[in-house]
Amino acid sequence: MSRAFASLVLCALLLPAMGCAFFVSWPDTSPRTPAEWAAVSRPLDAAGVAHWREAGTRILRVLETKHPNPWFRLPEADFQRQVADLDRDLPRLTEQQAVLRWKLILAALGDEHTFLLEQETGDELWPVAVGLCADGVFVTEASSPYRDLLGARVVAVGGMPIEAFLRRLEAFEAASIPAYGRMRAAERFPFGWFWLKALGQLPAHSQPTVEVVLPDGQRETRTLTPVARPAQVDWIHLPANPGLLRHADPDRLYAFRLIEGDRTLYVRYRRCENQKDGPSVWAFTGQVERGAAQAHPRRLIVDLRGNGGGRNYLLWRMLHWIRATPAFSRPGGLLVLTDAGTFSSACLNALDLQRAGGKIIGTPSGQPLNAYGDIRFTKLPGLRPAFACSTKTFLDAPGDPSAWHHSLTVDVPVPVTRGDLFGQTDTALEVALRQPMPPR
């Protein structure tokens, strides 16, 4: 092991990662019981009101003592006013409404790594999920009674145009990059109508309807029957192309293939975490190195699409190897695929790869160059949700105020198509493979 590489290892052990989380106490992520689900929509009792007021005090204390700059976007006075308004309203709110109000308040801070962790907000959800592409918003998953909606383009929800509906949901996310906020809003679609209804942001007469354009071009408005928790939705997907590299080895956080007659080495990196039932990222990198040593590929493609982050330093061994490999330092020798789902530590990895000479292909990543991270989770006494708070500042473009609002530059923009959305094509990879092959 070289001395320089040994230094990298030491740094990996000592330095924080943007998306790395540590816990004051572990959040309660156990499934709710039927009785707990039934209580979600009932007004808070006296104990519940007291717990939420104590939570507000604790959240403010953590922000003031742990966050590097909590008021960088929302002035503290505005934050205090919103919390005071919520405290006043608590006796007439349900648990769901209290959670949603806090989500909105924390999203207004503008820090993607500071939020209320409560993934199951509400006792009902829609049996339909959507995805985004350049052509609009489409139904990508549905339960059996609505399988005919698969592939339909969504036009409106509850009488509200779909773009206006998604903008309302974006308010629950602290998103500096618009594409990331829109992606997160689409992920909330099965809950969105209930969230907005609970907060009075939809007209009282709004019904659980979706207006769609079916694949055959017919326009239709459908009333959806909500699924009551804790029942689970039997999600049905359109059949995907099993030959797409992006979807190969779905149970692995990372994998590699030699393609194009071994001329191209393709590495899929889904999450900046070690595989619990497989080799670590460090050991995986050794496997990649040995495979490349035998095949002598002329270029490397690193696919970071959909990678939500974790620990950025786990990829440092691979980065060191890439920089030391002459074939990958030639023009076109290193290609990097990103999209709006490339977030947190994965953004740092993408930036490192770009600085190593990599060409970014796809759509902009979901996080700005300058951001806060290294999450601390704090349990809120008497409540299921936990509070996530950034504790570190990450400056990849110090001195550039705009870097708080834009992500790394995409060298070859490739919009997401309907075929990409439904797992039938992979346009970004196809564009990458059409890039000129570097000479030997």
pLDDT in tens, 313-329: 999 999 999 999 999 99
Task: Give the model's pLDDT for residue 14.
Answer: 40
Beta strands in 339-425 (DSSP E): 359-362, 370-379, 386-395, 412-413
Joined together, the tokens standing for residue 102 give 């806090």
pLDDT digits (tens, 9 = 90+) for 181-222: 999 999 999 999 999 999 999 887 888 999 999 999 999 999
CA distance 433 to 326: 20
Under 8 Å between Cβ of 40 and 198 = no
Mean pLDDT of the chain: 90
Q: If we measure between CA atoms, which residue out of 129, 244, 134 comes closest to residue 186?
A: 129
Task: Give the model's pLDDT for residue 24.
Answer: 45
CATH topology assigned to domain 245-367+407-433: 2-enoyl-CoA Hydratase; Chain A, domain 1 (3.90.226)
Under 8 Å between Cβ of 97 and 40 = no
CA distance 26 to 55: 16
Among 3.40.50.460, 2.30.42.10, 3.40.190.10, 3.40.50.300, what is the CATH number of 124-229? Answer: 2.30.42.10
Where residue 120 falls among pLDDT bands split at 50, 70, 90? low
Where residue 5 falls among pLDDT bands split at 50, 70, 90? very low
Whole-model pTM: value is 0.90
Q: How many CB atoms lie within 10 A of CB 409?
A: 11
Pairing state between β 359-362 and 334-338: parallel
Three-class SS of 265-318: EEEEECCECCCCCCCCHHHHHHHHHHHHHHHCCCEEEEECCCCCCECHHHHHHH
Residues 6+ apart with CB under 8 A from 15: 313
Q: What kind and span of H or E run contains 193?
A: helix 189-198
Q: Any idea which of 124-128, 131-135, 161-165, 273-277 has the lowest mean pLDDT? A: 124-128
Is 255 or 36 the better-scoring residue by pLDDT?
255
Task: Give the model's pLDDT for residue 29.
Answer: 61
Domain ranges of the chain: 16-117, 124-229, 245-367+407-433
SS3 22: strand
86 Rama class: left (phi>0) / alpha (psi -120 to 50) / beta: alpha
Report how far Cα 403 is from the mean position of its chain's Cα atoms: 20
Task: Give the model's pLDDT for residue 10.
Answer: 39
Where residue 384 falls among pLDDT bands split at 50, 70, 90? confident
Report the pLDDT averaged over residues 432-439. 94
Task: Give the model's pLDDT for residue 238.
Answer: 86
Q: Is pLDDT above 70 for 152?
A: yes
Task: Give the model's pLDDT for residue 232.
Answer: 78
CA distance 27 to 384: 7
pLDDT digits (tens, 9 = 90+) for 34-90: 677 667 778 999 999 999 999 999 999 999 999 999 999 999 999 999 999 999 999
